[in-house]
Each structure stands twice: as structure tokens, then as C-alpha cells.
């Protein structure tokens, strides 16, 4: 898969770094340091014939980077009902298969929690009982899983949280990989408001009510709107980050609204918004500024069907974060120095970069791939 550069935002603060081991006779030990990281440039993967170079187990051992320990990895996913999470799981399996073939991982198990925290707690406890070497958690809650996560860490089993976090607990064996969600939606909202001329009616598409992730994204919208007092949010719609629910809800609410000038989204439903506006009688020339979500459906529409010169900005969290966590898991279990808190960049596509993203499947999410070396230097070393 060939990598192409686009602009990405990554915010970072003071990070605690711990050195730990897991599995076999390794004992957990900790050393701490503090560092700051700057905004990073990232790359978004496109469907092309070339593939990034992979580090094999033999090459890694020759370089003194890691050993192929054959660790057992358990992954509990809070939800896989949208294209983002499905892409996350698919990419994790691809990387897990590579790491299994190279001897780094001996077993990789996926458990689905279906948005139920009690189920996810039980899955974490099962991984502990079965003696997995490391557990990866895409959490359904930032607080409800704390006891189970601490139970694993206290048992000497490192835990990596990905995507929907960070969770509200702390341990030397807890490693958190997360996005600066507020920064992403703030950037999108500011762009949309500028294109609206700083005034007019705006719709906000939200995610799943009551989740920390939705609240973080929403706070980014609110922060941006402080600069634009003449922009009015005329509707907030919860879509669960799904196109079908977004289109149904918009089909109901748009006939009650007039002169909508902009729409911001957290992801998964941008093209559904386009379809809803057209169904509601908006002409292509009158379409509002609709923020994109890096889904193939929206990027293909923008590139091939949108009115000539249509201006917008597309952004999304990176579903390759789960795959990235598998490389991080190997490094943790081999005693490498890994930061306990890791901010992962999200990708943004503007009009200049758009021609690079044609041909994605409608349900595909443009994502960032990184080499193992880049993961170590840009993510683990924060």
C-alpha cells in the first residue's frame, strides 16, 4: 500500500514513560521521564499496488529491536457496528496475521462487547483468567471498566486502550492510545463557519449519546462556535456514527428548517447528509458546506459528483490505531520503553489533496499506516 502525505493535526502534552515487561518470567519495572511532542505530519494510505516495507522478526532480532516471543493478545471491542470500527478490526487482523507469521504473536483473540460495559468487563476478566500476555481494549466507557483494567494490571498483564479513551485510571502497566477529538471537530467547525461567511444556520451531527467520545467531539464544535456568535446551531442529531440513522433523522428534520448553510459531523455520515439535503429539495448549487469524514462514499462524491469548486474539508480519526497497538503490544512485552499516554494523529483531506483519494470503496475509511520504526519514534516515544 503506497503512502501519500496529507496534513494532520496532533496535539500533545506531558507524557509519562514506563519500561515494563510481560509474559514468561519478565517482571514489571518502571522508570519515568517526561517529554513533549509537537504537531506531526502523517500519511494516509491509498489503495495502490505498492506496499510499505515490513520489518520481519529476523531483521528485528538482528537490529536488536525486539524478539519474537509468541505472545498471546486479547482484544475486546466495545462496538463494531459502523464502517470505522469494521475498518479498525479488519486492519488489526491483517497486522495480527503478519505478526503471527513472523513469530511475534502466537494467539490473537477478538471479543465483541456490543456496547455493553458488563460484557466488556467479563471479557477482560476472561483474558486475565486465561493468562493472556497483554490485553487491548477499545472501551465502551472511560470509567466503568476501571476496576477490570486495574485487575489486569495488578496481575502483571499490561493493558492498551485504543480509540475511545483515555480511561479514568492510572497504572504503570496501562498504556493509552487516543485521539485529540476536540481538536479535530474544532478545526472542521472553524473551516465550515468561515465558508459560511461567519453567520447562518448550522446542523451538528453527533455520535452516540452519553459517550465520552461524542462529548469530546461536541466540545470541539462548541469551542469553535465561540468565535462565530452569528452562527446558530438549529439542530443536533445523534446518528451513532452511522449513515442510515443520519439520513433517516435528517429526512425528518430538514423539512422543518430553512436556509441551512453548514453541517459538521463526527464521522460515518457525511455522504448520508449530502443525500438528505438533495432529497429535501436543495439543489447542488445550494448545498450547504458539509464537513467530510474521510469515508470513501463522501470522498468519491466530492471528487466526482459535487458541484465544480465545492469547498469543504474532510477529517477523521485513524482506524489503523488498533493495528498500531499490536506493534506497541509486542514492544511492551519485549521490555521496550513505551509512553503510557500516546496521542495518535488524525488525518485531514483538503481540496488540493482530494485527487489522491479516488477509488476507495464506499465503506472504506482513509487511514494512516506507519512503519514499525515510525510507531516507535513518533508514537511510543512521546
Has residue 352 been placed in a domain? no
- Cis peptide preceding 166, ω within 30 of 0: yes
Q: Residues with Cβ < 8 Å from 377, sequence gap 6 or more?
A: none
Structural domain range at position 19: 3-179+318-345+367-380
Residue whose entry in the numeric block shows the C-alpha cell 537490529: 63
91 close to 57: Cβ distance less than 8 angstroms: no
In a 13 Å sphere around the CA of 154, the CA atoms on its Cβ side amount to 9
- Mean pLDDT in order along the chain per 10 residues (382 residues): 30 28 35 29 34 45 55 96 91 98 97 95 98 97 95 98 93 97 97 98 96 94 98 97 96 96 96 97 94 96 95 94 98 97 92 88 88 97 96
Q: Do 25 and 164 belong together in one domain?
A: yes
Q: What is d(CA 149, CA 210) in angstroms, rounded to the nearest whole number?
A: 21
Helix then strand count (H, E) for the chain reads: 11, 18
Tell me the pLDDT tens digit for each residue of 94-142: 999 999 999 999 999 999 999 899 999 999 999 999 999 999 999 999 9
Has residue 255 been placed in a domain? yes
Has residue 295 been placed in a domain? yes
* pLDDT score of 218: 98
Has residue 110 been placed in a domain? yes
Q: Do 283 and 190 belong together in one domain?
A: yes
Q: Do 22 and 107 belong together in one domain?
A: yes
132 close to 111: Cβ distance less than 8 angstroms: no
* pLDDT score of 244: 95
Q: Do 107 and 186 belong together in one domain?
A: no
138 close to 163: Cβ distance less than 8 angstroms: yes
Q: Do 271 and 146 belong together in one domain?
A: no
Has residue 359 been placed in a domain? no
Tell me the pLDDT tens digit for each residue of 286-315: 999 999 999 999 999 999 999 999 999 999
* pLDDT score of 60: 45
Number of other CB atoms surrounding residue 154 within 10 Å: 11
Q: What is d(CA 58, CA 66) in angstroms, rounded to the nearest whole number?
A: 9
15 close to 340: Cβ distance less than 8 angstroms: yes
Number of other CB atoms surrounding residue 282 within 10 Å: 15
Q: Do 116 and 203 belong together in one domain?
A: no
Q: Do 162 and 211 belong together in one domain?
A: no
The CATH number of whichever domain residue 65 belongs to comes to 3.40.50.2300
Q: What is d(CA 66, CA 332) in angstroms, rounded to the nearest whole number?
A: 10
How many domains does the chain divide into? 2
Q: Which three cell numbers stand for residue 79?
A: 462496538
Has residue 361 been placed in a domain? no
Give CB contacts under 8 A, 24+ apart, made by 283-291: 288/196, 288/203, 288/260, 288/261, 288/262, 288/263, 289/192, 289/195, 289/196, 289/261, 289/262, 289/263, 290/262, 290/263, 290/265, 291/188, 291/189, 291/191, 291/192, 291/262, 291/263, 291/264, 291/265, 291/315
Q: Do 172 and 188 belong together in one domain?
A: no
Helix axes 146-154, 117-129, angle to 10 degrees: 10
Has residue 327 been placed in a domain? yes
Q: Do 23 and 159 belong together in one domain?
A: yes
Q: Do 324 and 276 belong together in one domain?
A: no
Q: Do 169 and 24 belong together in one domain?
A: yes
Q: What is d(CA 66, CA 357) in angstroms, rounded to the nearest whole number?
A: 35
Q: Do 106 and 235 belong together in one domain?
A: no
Has residue 353 been placed in a domain? no
Amino acid at each position: 500500500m503506497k503512502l501519500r502525505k496529507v496534513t494532520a493535526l496532533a496535539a500533545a502534552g506531558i507524557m509519562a514513560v514506563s519500561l515494563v515487561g510481560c509474559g514468561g518470567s519478565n517482571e514489571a519495572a518502571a522508570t519515568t521521564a517526561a517529554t513533549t511532542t509537537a504537531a506531526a505530519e502523517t500519511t494516509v494510505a491509498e489503495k495502490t499496488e505498492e506496499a510499505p516495507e515490513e520489518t520481519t522478526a529476523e531483521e528485528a532480532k538482528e537490529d536488536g529491536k525486539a524478539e519474537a516471543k509468541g505472545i498471546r493478545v486479547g482484544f475486546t471491542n466495545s462496538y463494531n457496528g459502523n464502517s470505522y470500527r469494521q475498518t479498525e478490526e479488519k486492519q488489526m487482523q491483517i497486522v495480527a496475521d503478519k505478526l503471527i507469521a513472523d513469530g511475534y504473536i502466537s494467539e490473537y483473540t477478538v471479543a465483541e462487547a456490543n456496547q455493553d460495559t458488563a460484557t466488556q468487563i467479563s471479557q477482560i476478566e476472561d483474558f486475565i483468567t486465561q493468562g493472556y500476555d497483554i490485553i487491548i481494549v477499545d472501551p465502551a466507557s472511560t470509567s466503568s471498566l476501571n476496576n477490570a483494567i486495574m485487575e489486569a494490571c495488578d496481575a502483571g498483564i499490561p493493558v492498551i486502550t485504543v480509540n475511545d479513551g483515555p480511561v479514568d485510571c492510572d497504572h504503570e502497566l496501562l498504556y493509552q492510545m487516543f485521539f485529540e477529538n476536540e481538536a479535530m471537530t474544532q478545526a472542521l467547525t472553524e473551516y465550515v463557519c468561515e465558508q459560511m461567511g461567519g453567520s447562518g444556520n448550522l446542523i451538528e451531527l453527533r455520535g452516540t449519546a452519553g459517550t465520552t467520545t461524542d462529548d469530546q467531539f461536541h466540545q470541539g464544535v462548541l469551542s469553535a462556535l465561540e468565535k462565530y456568535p452569528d452562527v446558530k446551531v438549529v439542530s443536533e442529531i445523534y446518528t451513532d456514527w452511522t449513515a442510515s440513522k443520519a439520513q433517516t433523522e435528517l429526512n425528518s428534520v430538514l423539512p422543518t428548517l430553512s436556509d441551512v448553510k453548514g453541517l459538521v459531523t463526527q464521522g460515518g455520515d457525511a455522504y448520508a447528509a449530502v443525500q438528505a439535503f438533495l432529497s429535501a429539495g436543495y439543489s447542488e448549487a445550494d448545498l450547504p458546506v458539509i464537513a467530510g469524514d474521510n469515508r470513501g462514499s463522501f470522498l468519491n462524491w466530492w471528487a466526482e459528483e459535487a458541484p465544480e469548486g465545492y469547498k469543504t474539508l474532510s477529517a477523521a480519526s485513524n482506524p489503523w490505531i488498533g493495528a498500531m497497538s499490536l506493534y506497541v503490544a509486542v514492544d511492551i512485552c519485549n521490555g521496550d520503553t513505551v509512553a503510557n499516554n500516546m496521542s495518535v494523529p488524525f488525518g485531514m483531506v483538503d481540496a488540493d489533496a482530494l485527487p489522491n483519494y479516488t477509488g476507495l470503496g464506499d465503506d472504506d475509511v482513509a487511514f494512516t499506516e506507519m512503519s514499525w520504526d515510525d510507531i516507535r519514534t513518533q508514537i511510543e516515544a512521546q
